[in-house]
Amino acid sequence: MSRMSVPNGSPTEFQEYRDGVRSWLKANAPASMPSAAELIPAAKAFQAALFDAGYAGITWPKDVGGQGLSPAYQQVYSDEAAAYELPVYPFIIGMGMCGPTVNDLGTDEQRTGYLPRLLRGEDIWCQLFSEPGAGSDVASLQTRAVLDGDTWVVNGQKVWTTNAQWADFGALLARTDPDRPKHSGLTMFVLDMHAPGVTVRPLKDMSGRAPFNEVYFDDVRIPVDAVLGQVNGGWNAAVTMLGHERVSIGATRKPKTNPMEFASLVELARDHGVTGDPAQRERLAELYADERVLDLFNVRMRQETMAGNPPGARGSVAKLAGALLLRKAIETAGQIAGSDTIAWEPDDARGAGLALGINSAPASSIAGGTNEVQHNIIGERILGLPKEPQVDRDIPFRELKVGTQRG
Amino acid sequence: MQLVLDPEQQELRSAIRKFLTDQSPSARVRSAMESADGYDRELWRRMATELGLLGLAVPEQYAGAGAGHVERAIVQEELGRSLAPSPFLGSAVLATDTLLALDDEAARAELLPRMVAGELIAAVAVAEGGGAWDRTGGATTASRSGDTWTLDGTKTAVVAGDVADVVLVLASTPDGPGWFRVDPSASGVTRTTLATLDPTRRLAKIAFAGAPATPLASADAAAVLDLVADLGAVALAAEQTGGLERALEMAVDYAKVRVQFGRPIGSYQAVKHGLADVYSDWEQGLSALRYASWAADHARDELPLAAALVATYVGPAYFRAGTLCVQYHGGIGYTWEHDAHLYYKRAKSTELLFGSPARNRARLADRLGV
């Protein structure tokens, strides 16, 4: 397949590639989503099939099992895959964030050891960054890694860890030198999630579901060759990974049916007989406009990617706008349906869906970087506005009043 | 759909931006807006003759460039950035689109080449109150006596109406709405240049009292109006998007250098986050604009919805940007000598030019079938 060696392609090559993706997905996409019990084996089987077909790690280098193609080809695949609900959720952290970071920063041994297994669906990964005392300010994290002979010994706690319940490996950010300022005493490790001393507990969120976990480390031993990047160079590694996260979130497509989408809310308005009310019609039109312009912005970013200009930090615009859109949607739903939004027959799926939408809205404004952090990213990295003075930047971490170090 | 400009379109943008930066800096904008004509005649002449901008979306048979609405939107974006007072929206957009949509080949052949060359300015008179475009022709009536027609009634908020050599009027006839061509210097026509919120764009009221008029052939006058309104909404949104971008740049530049309480005000999150919101509006509005202008060229069945979409979104967004541009400049932004107020006023005046935002939203709802 000669096209795989070219860094970018011609329209004909993209079209050929698109045709191939389309027919492969048509033949191989599972007809329905697996049940919760079957999710992991089904996801592993599908990831392996993707790998065999050449659609896993499209932009990853060939020496680790990828295809070595430009982001434009990944975009073609993503466009086509958006028509399907695929069992890929367990791999999103590994494929979207951890894998690309191992590729960027790992030794040859790490890259060839971890990445082919990830691409073939053999290992699930999670990201171990956030802590109870370190959310937006993740550099203030307190999980400690202490060198003991030829192993690091880890103690501490992580939180909001997506997919940890299934994970084989985690990309762990831990403090290795508390005498340095907070950003310069961190190290990233590849952690074996099956190692003794790792405990994963589901964390129930305000929607009543448990998509996240808390992860505890009690004297977990990590070999020295599991350091990713440089010792005390973990902040650089974290920034690398968060850059991949933005791209990954920006590329995520919404599921087909969502009770908070315009089309669903129009149905709701019809059923409540309020589509003749000018105020309701205006509200729906405004919601449509916000939803559609965000879609169009995502299309534009994808077309720019195809043209060789990946969006970079502009992914934050889409993330922020999506979170604000959801807030407007839940307000619209309430204006339309009144108390039917908050009380419904137990077997009424729409009532449950609306409530879930209301209860999920805060997550999109917090997870993956809060709206406030997205505003800062846009202001500082896109518009070039100065950062706020950072009072804790040059002070040894152990002197800071953060987390449990509040005295 | 194509939402990214191709290299030729990017070159066009660079050329226009350079031209307007050189030829229409703030001082020229201000002298033009205070001049008797209210626009920069020399700039208009060079836009026509040197850059060939007035006929970008006009077919070559009428001396145009045969390009499209994507290209014309680029011109409008740049004019919106620079605020250069010109009859472009009235003549090169609304009147040009009307002539192209009508079925009057003789009028097209006579007027368009002269409009493209910058020798003749035409305007479209539809609105009667509040800026909304009434498809029926409104209270302006056309009466026939033998072979001659006369108009009675009053049109307002006529873009470029104060300087137009020809006015295209939608009026009611016993058989429904019809389009007429009126010579504004004829007896029975009274033009009043209105006092306007926005000093960079003049609007006129035109009263007709038994004014002689020439009917313009069209199979469906209301359909012509709908198309002209949609294309005009896209062109106006382009102007707004360009102005929004410039207002954002001015505010960002100032926030980087204005120091209060010991640091640049752009380092404070209250300011930074407001600017980030404006940037977010601009990115999304620009995407909607590219879509709507693409639809105007390549997917006419999508144009009505796309035009209503971009009008609904970009109008209020520009005014938010204009508001914050003044706000973040503080006291200096409230002075006459600073340009921030010109963007604020252009934003508000374009938001309301073709009717209220509520009307835009209602029209969008109509087109969504809600």
**A14-25: pLDDT as tens digits:** 999 999 999 999
B190 backbone dihedrals φ, ψ, rounded to 5°? -120, 120
What confidence category does residue A340 fall into, taking pLDDT thresholds of 50, 70 and 90?
very high
E strand or H helix that includes residue B208: strand B203-216
Check: CB of residue A129 under 8 Å from CB of residue A141: yes
The type of residue at A42 is A
Q: Which of B339, B370, B365, B356 is nearest to B130 (CA)?
A: B356
Which residues of chain B does A314 touch, with a Cβ-Cβ cutoff of 8 Å?
A: 283
- Chain-centroid distance, C-alpha B35: 20
Instruction: Average the pLDDT over each of A87-91, A188-192, B168-172 and give the range with the smallest value.
Output: A87-91
Predicted pLDDT of residue A5: 38
Beta bridge partners of residue B193, listed in sequence order: B204
- 3-state SS, chain A, equals CHHHHCCCCCHHHHHHHHHHHHHHHHHHCCCCCCCHHHHHHHHHHHHHHHHHHCCCCCCCCHHHCCCCCCHHHHHHHHHHHCCCCCCCHHHHHHHHHHHHHHHHHCCHHHHHHHHHHHHCCCCCEEEECCECCECCCHHHCCCEEEEECCEEEEEEEECCCCCCCCCCEEEEEEECCCCCEHHHCEEEEEEECCCCCEEEEEECCCCCCCCEEEEEEEEEEEEHHHEECCCCCHHHHHHHHHHHHHHHHHHCCCCCCCCCCHHHHHHHHHHCCCCCCHHHHHHHHHHHHHHHHHHHHHHHHHHHHHCCCCCHHHHHHHHHHHHHHHHHHHHHHHHHHHHHHCCCCCCCHHHHHHHHHHHHHHHHHHCCCCHHHHHHHHHHHHCCCCCCCCCCCCCEHHHCCCCCCCC
**Phi, psi torsion values for B127, nearest 5 degrees:** -70, 145
Whether the per-residue pLDDT at A256 is higher than 70: the answer is no
Half-sphere exposure of B209 (CA within 13 A, CB side): 5
**Chain B contact for A386 (CB, 8 A cutoff):** yes
Interface test with chain B among A264, A275, A288, by most B beta carbons within 10 Å: A288
Spell out which residues of chain A touch residue B286, defining contact as CB-CB under 8 Å: 300
The partner residue sitting opposite A375, judged by closest CB among B252, B273, B283, is: B273
Burial of B261 (0-12, 13-18, 19+ CB in 10 A): exposed
Considering only the C-alpha atoms of chain A, give the largest distance between any 2 of them, rounded to a whole number of Å.
Answer: 75
**Residue the block writes with tokens 């079938």:** B369
- Helix or strand run (H / E) with residue B294: helix B269-298
pLDDT at A255 exceeding the cut of 60: no
Confidence band for A249, pLDDT divided at 50, 70 and 90: low
Q: What is the least distance, in Å, from the CA of B249 to any CA of chain A?
A: 9
Tell me which chain A residue has its CA closest to the CA of residue B259: A386
Distance between CA atoms of residues B326 and A271, nearest Å: 44
Global pTM reads 0.93
Q: Both tokens of residue B107?
A: 């009028």
Mutation to test the B interface, candidates A286, A385, A387, A390, most B Cβ within 10 Å: A385
Chain A residues with CB under 8 Å of B271 CB are: 385
pLDDT-above-70 percentage for chain A: 95
Query: How far apart, in whole angstroms, are the C-alpha atoms of residue B342 and residue B127?
Result: 24
Which candidate in A297, A303, A382 is best for mutational testing of the B interface (most B CBs within 10 A)? A297
CB A127 within 8 A of CB A157: no
Question: How far apart (Å, rounded) are the C-alpha atoms in residues B9 and B290?
Answer: 12
Chain B contact set for A299 (CB, 8 A) = 1, 3, 287, 291
Query: What's residue A402's pLDDT?
Result: 87
Of A369, A272, A270, A279, give the one whose Cα is nearest residue A318. Answer: A369
Does A353 have pLDDT greater than 50? yes
Distance (Å, rounded) from C-alpha B255 to C-alpha B108? 50
Kindly state the helix (H) or strand (E) to which residue B190 belongs, with its residue range.
strand B189-193
Q: At what angle do helices B221-257 and B303-329 cross, to 10 degrees?
A: 30
Mean pLDDT to the nearest integer, A141-164: 97
* CA dihedral sign, ordered B66, B311, A260, A161: positive
Chain B nearest-CA distance from A222, in A, is 40
B80 vs B84: CA distance, rounded Å = 8
- Interstrand relation of A151-158 and A212-223 (parallel, antiparallel or unpaired): antiparallel
Q: Output the pLDDT for position A1.
A: 29
In this prediction, residues A324-338 reach a mean pLDDT of: 96
Residue A163 sits at the vertex; the CA angle it makes with A162 and A164, to the nearest 5 degrees, is 95
Q: Which residues of A are the active-site residues?
A: 245
**B309: closest CA of chain A, how far (Å):** 6
- Name which residue leads in pLDDT, B120 or A389: B120
Q: Please report the sign of the dihedral spanned by the C-alpha atoms of residue B340, residue B345, residue B348, residue B353.
A: negative
CB-CB under 8 Å, A386 with B256? yes
A290 or A71, greater pLDDT: A290
Pairs of CB atoms within 8 A across A/B:
129
Cβ distance of B267 and A386 shorter than 8 Å: yes
The pLDDT value recorded for residue A250 is: 47
Residues 261-320 of A with CB under 8 A from B: 266, 269, 275, 278, 281-282, 284-286, 288-290, 292-294, 296-297, 299-300, 303-304, 307, 314, 317, 320
DSSP secondary structure code for residue B243 in this structure: H
**CA–CA distance, A128 with B120 (Å, rounded to integer):** 69
Mean pLDDT value of segment A195-212: 94
- The strand pairing partners of B264, in sequence order, are B259
Distances (CA, A) of B61 to B92, B93, B105, B112, B123: 16, 18, 11, 10, 21
Burial of residue B168 (number of CB atoms within 10 Å: 0-12, 13-18, 19+): buried
Q: Are A84 and A25 in contact (CB under 8 A)?
A: yes
Task: Find chain B residues with C-beta within 8 A of A321's C-beta.
Answer: 280, 284
pLDDT computed for residue A312 by the predictor: 85
* Mean pLDDT, residues A58-79 taken together: 92
What percent of chain A is modeled with pLDDT above 90?
A: 80
Which is it for the CA torsion A241, A243, A247, A250, positive or negative? positive
**A383 closest CB neighbour out of B264, B275, B291:** B275
User: What is the crossing angle of helices B269-298 and B303-329, to 10°?
Assistant: 160
pLDDT value at position A75? Answer: 86
Using a CB-CB distance cutoff of 8 angstroms, which residues of chain A are in contact with residue B289? Answer: none
A254–chain B nearest CA distance, Å: 18
Do B4 and A307 lie within an 8 Å CB cutoff? yes
Amino acid type, A109: E
CB-based contacts of B214: which residues, under 8 Å, 6+ apart?
Answer: B149, B180, B181, B182
Q: Are A114 and A123 in contact (CB under 8 A)?
A: yes
Report, as an integer, the average pLDDT of A317-334. Answer: 96
In contact, A42 and A30? CB cutoff 8 Å: yes
Average pLDDT over residues A105-123: 97
Can you state the angle between helices A39-53 and A11-28, rounded to 10 degrees?
A: 140
Q: What secondary structure letter does DSSP report for B119?
A: S
List pLDDT tens digits, range A371-382: 999 999 999 999
Nearest CB to B364; choose among A289, A294, A386: A289
- CA dist., res. A126 & res. A200, Å (int): 12
Q: Tell me if B328 sits within 8 A of B265, measured CB to CB.
A: yes
A150 to A144, A146, A190, A225, A348: CA distances (angstroms): 16, 11, 15, 9, 59
Q: Among A115, A184, A113, A128, which Cα is nearest to A159's?
A: A128
A388 neighbourhood in chain B, CB within 8 Å: 267-269
Which of the four pLDDT bands, split at 50, 70 and 90, describes residue A407?
low
As a whole number of angstroms, the distance between CA A319 and CA A245 comes to: 11
Cross-chain residue pair A269–B370, CB shorter than 8 Å: yes
| Residues of chain B below pLDDT 50 | none
Q: Closest residue of B to A385, CA-based? A: B266
d(CA A264, CA A258): 7
Judging contacts by C-beta atoms under 8 Å, the chain A residues touching residue B358 are: 278, 282
CB contact under 8 A, B276 and A320: yes
- Closest Cβ–Cβ partner in B280, B309, B370 for A317: B280
pLDDT of residue A246: 63
CB atoms near residue B186 (< 10 Å): 12
Q: What share of chain B is helix, strand, coil (3-state, %, to 5)?
A: 55, 15, 30
Q: How far apart are CA B318 and CA B333, in angstroms?
A: 17
pLDDT number for residue A257: 66
Q: How far apart are the first and last CA of chain A?
A: 63
Cβ(A300)–Cβ(B3) below 8 Å: yes
* Contact call for residues A133 and A141 (beta carbons, < 8 A): yes
Rounded Cα distance between A180 and A232, Å, is 9
